[in-house]
DNA sequence: GTGAAAGCGCTAACAT
DNA sequence: ATGTTAGCGCTTTCAC
């Protein structure tokens, strides 16, 4: 009735339970003959090792918990993809949760990760306080993807937002733009650095007087609203550096509705190089970060701590790059 | 050193382990006084119930395994979102895996779900043989999302692809189109029904002579290739019904490059109403299916079987709807 | 209402 | 190289 256990396999093969256990874990010190017998018996019975029991006994679940903001943003979807791929090829499973923007559901998700005794946690996006993070890190290795963070047992993988913002501004300035407005990402992960990078680059290029920030967030609507805001003004900027691609799309859409051509009237640069930035119809110049690869790196870094025994924190910073498409051009 | 167990809580509260267990599971028959004492002790010690041990003893993991093709397609990301949301609000966790289009990694993922003793499995996208599916269903309830399937212990949730295809064709015919080409989804999930729906609707509208199918798949590239194919012809069709949004985007992009305006020269209809279909720059007329809601329904259906004790298969078919945007217009 | 005790299916010393 | 024996931390009868 109930699925066969090691006991059953052992009996069928005429050996002890321990031997079956050794064979299942591919231990080296087992005679070929017995190994074959065990494998045959297991096959015969349709034996399937019970990972739950194994976890309880070995105190390792081979599972990592991944908490994302939401899956709609391709940025998150892509990192999830990288994470899952690398995890599974390392023999780990992924427990996935999304916080529905409500911090409470975030903490509930963490709670359930800890109850499930995951071997590690990857946080992508959600804003936790340093206390919350070090609290979870006291139970299990934690890594934040997309934002940096300090603390014992906490690693991070992110791109150099600051540098990315500089690339964007330098590109626009190089085309001859001076009135470059930034639509910010508000309180979202990485938003601060992008804004600071913008301000710093503007200053370095002697454009400090033209620094102009419209507050937004990482959504399409906020891009549209920012466009409305700009359209109210006496004079449009000649270029906009948007905090991310989705926002840029919203902004460009609203501008188009108002009859403002991109890049003829206004150049637009995004951030993230998400899938749709490359669509012919958008063809958005943007800052690329290798998201899937960063997801893979996250898993490797976590594994390195979980099984490799590393203990000092590691902060990985990836270099972003500029991808020029058709949404930018010299000012008229 | 190691985290506190029930034993520790019991000792601290001066009760038996069993009582602690009852309190943790919110059992009714416990005196208020003792309950309070147990809760206090647990809080004090920072007790965290071990879900692994609980699963082993209770033979239920409160986990469902979700296997997706890939997360890049917003269709999958959205369904994952709905699934995770509903699962977590029902107290279930989600183990997520993606098959990298390789069937072997699919079966490996299923294998690890079964080893983890998940309470149920949701398959979204991947093509398994009926044998493979009923094999897994013999171990645990299975639901396919996005494609129908038969068999004991197998449920399904999908939209009526057939009907959706009809909606698309009727819309185009209603605008006055007769030369309507379909770019198919090849062997992808739902592709067959969409193609058949197209053919049937064409026939019903007296356009059987104009049935014209270009074989593609569900990718952007295949859309571009289909466009190339069409451009080689002496005469373009006046309308194209694309197997999904991504493919439609690829097709429109290539057409635009060739100087063919949409909808001026060719009208295009997509399928899925994925996020970017609504972007101003694409503004794609498409067939909407409530993907996130379908994800939630999947979980409910599975739960209904897992805990509700339902045993007869349930096939849920959702009605799709037409969303008209700016990619369609009457023929010139 | 509460406690005692027997598992759940496996791993990991420790023997041999 | 293989078998023996304790657990891992919980649930779940079954008594009281």
Asked if pLDDT for residue A101 goes beyond 70, the answer is no
Instruction: Indicate whether A325 belongs to any domain.
Output: no
pLDDT at B70 over 90: no
A196 shares its domain with A279: yes
Look up the CATH number of the domain holding residue B52.
1.10.260.40
Percent of chain A with pLDDT over 90: 83
The share of chain A scoring above pLDDT 70, in percent, equals 98
Name the nucleotide with the smallest C1'–CA separation from A8.
C9
**Which residues of chain A are within 8 Å of residue B71 when distances are taken between CB atoms?**
71, 77-78, 80-81, 84
Together in a domain, B155 and B179: no
Kindly state whether B3 is in contact with chain A, defined as any CB-CB distance less than 8 angstroms.
Answer: yes
CB-CB neighbors (< 8 A) of A257 in chain B:
280
Tokens for B227, please give them: 């466009």
Same domain as B166, residue B95:
no
Asked if the model's pLDDT at residue A102 lies above 70, the reply is no
Report angle CA B295, B118, A11 to the nearest 5 degrees. Answer: 160
Q: Within 10 Å of residue A48's Cβ, how many Cβ atoms? A: 15
- Chain D footprint bases within 7 A of protein beta carbons: 1-5, 7-13
> B279 to chain A: which residues are within 8 Å by CB?
220, 249, 253, 276, 281-282
Which nucleotides of chain C are near protein (any atom < 7 Å from a CB)? 1-5, 7-13
Q: Is residue A45 part of a domain?
A: yes
- Cβ distance B253 to A116 less than 8 Å, yes or no, reads no
Same domain, B93 and B169: no
Same-domain pairing of B169 and B269: yes
Give the pLDDT band of residue A26 (cuts 50, 70, 90): confident
Give the model's pLDDT for residue B149: 84
How confident is the model at residue A74, as a pLDDT?
A: 87
Residue of A nearest to B292 (CA): A72
Residues A53, A148 share a domain: no
Residue A103 — pLDDT band, cuts 50, 70, 90?
A: low
With respect to residue A233, please indicate whether it lies within any of the assigned structural domains: yes
Residue A26: which residues within 8 A CB-CB, separation 6 or more? none
Average pLDDT over residues B223-248: 96
Residue that wins the pLDDT comparison between B67 and A70: B67
CA of B43 to C1' of D13 (A): 29
pLDDT given at position B127: 77
| Domain membership of residue A310 as a residue range | 63-159+290-318
- Across residues B192-212, what is the average pLDDT? 96
- Residue B288's pLDDT is 98
How many separate helices (H) and strands (E) can be counted in chain B?
12, 12
Q: Residue A238's closest CA among A261, A265, A203?
A: A265
The whole-chain average pLDDT of chain A stands at 93
Nearest protein residue to nucleotide D11 (CA to C1' distance) is: B57
Residues B153 and B169 grouped into a single domain: no
- Which of B135, B281, B295, B299 to probe by mutation at the A interface, max A CB count within 10 Å? B281
Residue B14 maps to a domain: yes
Determine which of B71, B221, B227, B274 to mutate to test the interface with A (most A C-beta atoms within 10 Å).
B71
Domain shared by B34 and B80, yes or no: no
Q: End of a domain among A14, A38, A58?
A: A58
pTM of model > 0.85: yes
Residue B246 belongs to a domain:
yes
Examine the domain organization and report whether B70 and B154 are in the same domain.
Answer: yes
Q: Is the CB of B16 under 7 A from strand C?
A: yes
Do A178 and A235 fall into the same domain?
yes
Instruction: Provide the β-strand partners of residue A10.
Output: none
Confidence of residue B103 (pLDDT cuts 50, 70, 90): low
Is A43 part of any domain? Answer: yes
Of B53, B112, B281, nearest to A56 by CB-CB distance is: B53
Would B329 be classed as within a structural domain?
no
Q: Are B49 and A97 inside 8 Å of each other by CB?
A: no
Average pLDDT of span A54-59: 96
CA B252 to chain centre: 25
Do residue B113 and residue B259 come from a single domain? no
Residues B154 and B294 grouped into a single domain: yes
Assigned token pair, B306: 């897992």
A253 pLDDT above the threshold of 90: yes
Output B70 or A139, whichever has higher pLDDT: A139
Mean pLDDT of B266-284: 95
- Residue B260 resides in a domain: yes
| Helix, coil or strand: residue A98 | strand
Domain count, chain B: 3
With b meaning 16 or more CB within 10 Å and e meaning fewer, what string describes A118-157?
Answer: bbbbbbbbbbbeeebbbbbbebbbbbbbbbbbebebbbbb
d(CA A20, C1' C15) / Å: 18
Which of the pair, A143 or A75, is modelled with greater confidence?
A: A143
pLDDT reported for residue B190: 83
The CATH number covering residue A109 comes to 3.40.50.2300
What average pLDDT does range A131-137 have in this prediction?
92
**Count of CB pairs separated by less than 8 Å, A with B:** 144
Asked whether the predicted pLDDT for residue B104 surpasses 80, the reply is no
């Amino acid at each position: 009735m109930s699925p066969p256990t090691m006991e059953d396999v052992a009996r069928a093969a005429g050996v002890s339970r321990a031997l079956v256990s050794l064979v299942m874990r591919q231990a080296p010190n087992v005679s070929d003959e017995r190994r074959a017998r065990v494998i045959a018996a297991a096959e015969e019975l349709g034996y399937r090792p019970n990972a739950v029991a194994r976890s309880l006994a070995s105190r390792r679940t081979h599972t990592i918990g991944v908490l994302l903001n939401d899956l709609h943003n391709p940025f998150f979807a892509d990192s999830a993809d990288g994470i899952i791929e690398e995890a599974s090829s390392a023999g780990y499973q992924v427990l996935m949760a999304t916080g529905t923007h409500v911090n409470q559901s975030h903490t509930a998700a963490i709670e359930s990760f800890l109850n499930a005794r995951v071997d590690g946690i990857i946080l992508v996006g959600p804003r936790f306080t340093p206390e919350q993070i070090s609290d979870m890190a006291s139970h299990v290795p934690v890594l934040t993807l997309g934002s940096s963070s300090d603390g014992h047992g906490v690693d991070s993988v992110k791109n150099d937002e600051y540098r990315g913002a500089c690339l964007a501004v330098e590109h626009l300035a190089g085309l001859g733009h001076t009135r470059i407005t930034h639509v910010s990402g508000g309180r979202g992960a990485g938003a601060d650095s992008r804004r600071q990078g913008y301000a710093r680059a503007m200053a370095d290029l002697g454009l400090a007087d033209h620094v102009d920030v419209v507050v937004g967030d990482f959504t399409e609507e906020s891009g549209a609203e920012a466009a409305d805001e700009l359209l109210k003004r006496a004079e449009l900027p000649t270029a906009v550096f948007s905090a991310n691609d989705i926002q840029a799309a919203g902004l460009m859409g609203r501008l188009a509705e108002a009859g403002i051509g991109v890049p003829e009237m206004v150049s637009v640069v995004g951030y993230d190089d998400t899938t749709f930035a490359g669509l012919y119809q958008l063809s958005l110049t943007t800052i690329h970060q290798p998201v899937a690869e960063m997801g893979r790196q996250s898993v490797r870094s976590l594994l390195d701590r979980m099984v490799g025994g590393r203990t000092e924190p590691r902060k990985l910073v990836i270099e972003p790059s500029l991808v020029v498409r058709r949404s930018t051009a010299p000012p008229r």
